[in-house]
Amino acid sequence: SAVDIVTIPRGAGNQRLQLGLNLSTTNDGDAYYGVLGRWTIQPLNPSAGEFRVTTEIGTNLILDLEWMQPLGTTGAFFIESGLNYTEQTVPVNVGDIRLAERRDNSAAARLIFGREFGRWGVAEIGAHALTLDSDILVGDTFGLGTQSGDYLGVSGRFAIDTFNSPSFPIRGQLLDLQLEGYGSMDGDDEATQAQLILASAQTLGPIAT
């Protein structure tokens, strides 16, 4: 005789809560603090979706909602969507002279399509919408540093990561190339940004570098 066992996967899987504290200071004497929190549900559905809420409360206020959904049977392709709200204090300097401090309030939405390459790489393209409002807290910018407006943008990323550990790697390499372009909806402002990170970990006898 044979026994058939049928299992029904749960609609929502493990839930994880992480808490932390961020304290930092700069050479200019600016001090920042924040209480960090992250709540993750994975898997969110039978297709291994993941939902994440990230917050920071302190000098800056951040609330980020993210949903990452693998596609297909292998899960190599994925869609990531998210909403973000940020209140951030930004110094306005000219050289070593502090002219003012402003408060940037922003709300953003993103939609990213990507593909993972095993455990060593990822490629992404994304579309972004952002609304930004800047208020001067202290001082006078004389027209510098204000960035209020509505923006649309695109992004691209390609990364190779063969580190054996995300925290303290002792072997492997990292290449992370990110490109972003934004334009205001009224057509007055445009900005592009490129970032390239290269790193390598190796051991010299018993010492890791």
Cα separation, 135 vs 141, whole angstroms: 11
Who contacts 41 (Cβ-Cβ below 8 Å, separation ≥6)?
12, 13, 14, 15, 50, 51, 52
What pLDDT digit, counting tens, does each position of 23-41 carry? 888 776 778 899 999 999 9
Q: Where is pLDDT greater, at 100 or 60?
A: 60
Q: What is the value of pTM for the model shown?
A: 0.77
Given a cut of 60, whether residue 183 has pLDDT beyond it is: yes
Given a cut of 80, whether residue 142 has pLDDT beyond it is: no
Q: Where is pLDDT greater, at 32 or 146?
A: 32
How many helices (H) and strands (E) the chain has is answered by: 0, 12
